[in-house]
Amino acid sequence: MSATAHVVFVPGMARPATDADPFFRHLPTGWRTTAVARSVSDEPFSVGDALADILSPARHGDNPVVLVGHSFGGYLAELAYYQLLSSQPERKVALVLLDASVADVPRPWLNPGTLWRWWRPLMTVAPHPVEHFLHENSAFRATAKVVRAARDTWREPLLTGGPDGSRVVVTARWINNRLTRALPWSWFTKQARLARGLGARHLVVSPSGHHVMLQHPKEVAEIVAATLR
């Protein structure tokens, strides 16, 4: 295990970067950590800008890096992962998706910029968390479309050689039994499909709600550290 690895955390939709603090404290001594905050602006949400904010710290140095994405942040962490694989193929890069959003959602019915221009005037009296959520949610389906396209490009390289321990899909579940695992529309089934498509290990943390890194910080830290063993 590298003593100088870098963990870059990408929070979920409208979530604070401080969501990483509990599990950061349990990472191996000497590991560098960065939590990427996203702000709200008058402009529509930009996937390119969000990726640049992730890649700026992630590309620093040549030590192993683990990208950790929660929920909607999983989309962005995954896209950053592909960018690093392409631009720094000699570098050890790992990906951990924490109860990440799945990309099999309907195609966007409106350009996200148009949707945000409709919503933005309503935000003058909205609390900041609501504004932040709507800013990112306006681009949710469009971002999923970008992720699907990236997966089409990377599917064959990722699946060559079978599941890779440096890619992990973590599913949070309150109830973890055979019945809920078997249902074709269940969250577990969708997450298992995501893991297969990425050639990733699939781990379940239970009992847990969606914010698994807050409820099980030590276990999440152990999962993250294990990707570089």
**Strands of 118-215, DSSP E:** 164-172, 200-205
pTM for the full predicted model? 0.89
Give just the sign of the alpha carbon dihedral 141, 164, 215, 180: positive
- What string of pLDDT tens digits covers the 229 residues of the chain? 556 899 999 999 989 999 999 999 999 999 999 999 998 777 788 999 999 999 999 998 899 999 999 999 999 999 999 999 999 989 999 999 999 999 887 665 556 566 656 655 655 555 456 767 777 877 888 899 999 999 999 988 888 765 566 999 999 988 776 766 777 888 999 999 999 999 999 999 999 999 999 999 999 999 999 999 8
Question: In angstroms, how far apart are the furthest CA atoms of the chain?
Answer: 53
Q: Where are the domains of the chain?
A: 6-226
Give just the sign of the alpha carbon dihedral 204, 210, 211, 215: negative
CATH T-level fold of 6-226: Rossmann fold (3.40.50)
Q: What is the pLDDT of residues 170-227, one digit of tens each?
A: 999 887 767 667 778 889 999 999 999 999 999 999 999 999 999 999 999 999 999 9
- CB-based contacts of 46, cutoff 8 Å, min separation 6: none
C-alpha distances out from residue 166 to 22, 97, 161, Å: 22, 11, 13
Separation of alpha carbons 11 and 50, rounded Å: 11
SS3 49: helix
